[in-house]
């Protein structure tokens, strides 16, 4: 998925949706920009605000517009809370699981990791980043990939990252076990999931 200049995109969206924009360097750059630009932008319409939330959501998870629309449609026809349904679908993507488990630093890295065949699900190599994990799944690094450079700092990353409670990680064997339904706390989100759903149901 082509994104373009991430600093510029994050500044437009008003949220640090990319890893490189979640740094002190970006925060300082944003502060300098705000001083020079001032309040040039006018107030957005309700539609414009909802569109912005949709963009924040899809960039947060690194998915294309078409993919995101399909996730929303599926969430809307699934019984239960539509917002939770959508977040579960996004969180349950295999590339996102790699990020949440600290196996990959970004969604693009997670997507590449999966696409290149480095990850196995229940012993079977999976090369589809959008693959949906299920409760009971066991995720491992392919034997031939364990010494790859992309995993060279994994021990350190696992110790310094708090993973969500719907997964358990064996740091010694580098094994991920899905023990619950993938969810995301709304307080941790960079977007308003309610506004996203309103955009698609208006």
The enclosing domain of 78 has a CATH number of 1.10.1050.10
Q: What is the pLDDT of residue 19?
A: 54
Identify whether 1 is part of a domain. no
CA distance linking residue 140 with residue 57, whole number of Å: 28
Tell me the two tokens of residue 128: 């589809």
Identify whether 142 is part of a domain. yes
Q: What is the pLDDT of residue 103?
A: 97
Same domain for 98 and 174, yes or no, is yes
pTM: 0.80
Residue with tokens 């619950």: 180
Same domain for 11 and 85, yes or no, is yes
Identify whether 77 is part of a domain. yes
With contact defined as beta carbons under 8 Å apart, do 199 and 50 qualify? Answer: yes
Same domain for 41 and 99, yes or no, is no
CATH of the domain at 145: 3.10.290.10
Q: What is the pLDDT of residue 175?
A: 97
Identify whether 183 is part of a domain. no
Residue 181 pLDDT > 80: yes
Tell me the two tokens of residue 24: 């002190």
With contact defined as beta carbons under 8 Å apart, do 197 and 72 qualify? Answer: yes
Residue 52 pLDDT > 70: yes
Which residue range is the domain that position 14 belongs to? 6-89+188-201
Same domain for 25 and 76, yes or no, is yes
- Region 154-177: mean pLDDT is 94
Same domain for 61 and 10, yes or no, is yes
CA distance linking residue 115 with residue 125, whole number of Å: 10
Tell me the two tokens of residue 139: 């995720």
Q: What is the pLDDT of residues 58-79, one digit of tens each?
A: 989 999 999 999 999 999 999 9
Tell me the two tokens of residue 18: 């990319």
For 201, the 3-state DSSP assignment is: helix
Residue 138 dihedral angles phi and psi, to the nearest 5°? -115, 125
For 42, the 3-state DSSP assignment is: coil
How many domains does the structure of the chain reveal?
Answer: 2
Q: What is the pLDDT of residue 184?
A: 84
Same domain for 21 and 49, yes or no, is yes
Q: What is the pLDDT of residues 117-161, one digit of tens each?
A: 999 999 999 999 999 999 999 999 999 999 999 999 999 999 998
Same domain for 74 and 110, yes or no, is no
Helices and strands: H and E segment counts in the chain: 9, 5
pLDDT tier, 190 (very low <50, low <70, confident <90, very high otherwise): confident
Same domain for 171 and 99, yes or no, is yes
With contact defined as beta carbons under 8 Å apart, do 107 and 95 qualify? Answer: yes
CA distance linking residue 76 with residue 200, whole number of Å: 10
CA distance linking residue 150 with residue 105, whole number of Å: 10
Same domain for 172 and 111, yes or no, is yes
Q: What is the pLDDT of residues 28-38, one digit of tens each?
A: 554 555 555 45
Q: What is the pLDDT of residues 8-48, one digit of tens each?
A: 555 555 555 555 555 555 445 545 555 554 555 556 788 98
């Amino acid at each position: 998925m082509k994104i373009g200049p991430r600093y510029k995109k994050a500044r437009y969206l008003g949220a640090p949706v990319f890893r490189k924009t979640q740094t002190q360097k970006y925060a300082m750059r944003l502060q300098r920009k705000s001083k020079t630009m001032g309040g040039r932008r006018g107030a957005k319409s309700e539609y414009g605000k909802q569109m912005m939330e949709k963009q924040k959501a899809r960039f947060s998870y690194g998915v294309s517009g078409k993919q995101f629309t399909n996730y929303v449609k599926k969430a809307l026809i699934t019984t239960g809370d539509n917002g939770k349904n959508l977040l579960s679908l996004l969180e349950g993507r295999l590339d996102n699981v790699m990020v949440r488990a600290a196996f990959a630093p970004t969604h693009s890295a997670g997507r590449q990791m999966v696409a290149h065949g480095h990850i196995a699900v229940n012993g079977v190599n999976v090369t589809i980043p959008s693959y949906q994990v299920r409760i009971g799944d066991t995720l491992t690094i392919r034997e031939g990939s364990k010494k790859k450079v992309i995993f060279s700092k994994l021990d350190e990353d696992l110790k310094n990252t708090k993973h969500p409670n719907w997964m358990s990680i064996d740091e010694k064997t580098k094994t991920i076990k899905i023990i619950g339904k993938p969810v995301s706390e709304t307080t941790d989100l960079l977007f308003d999931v309610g506004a996203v759903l309103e955009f698609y149901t208006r």
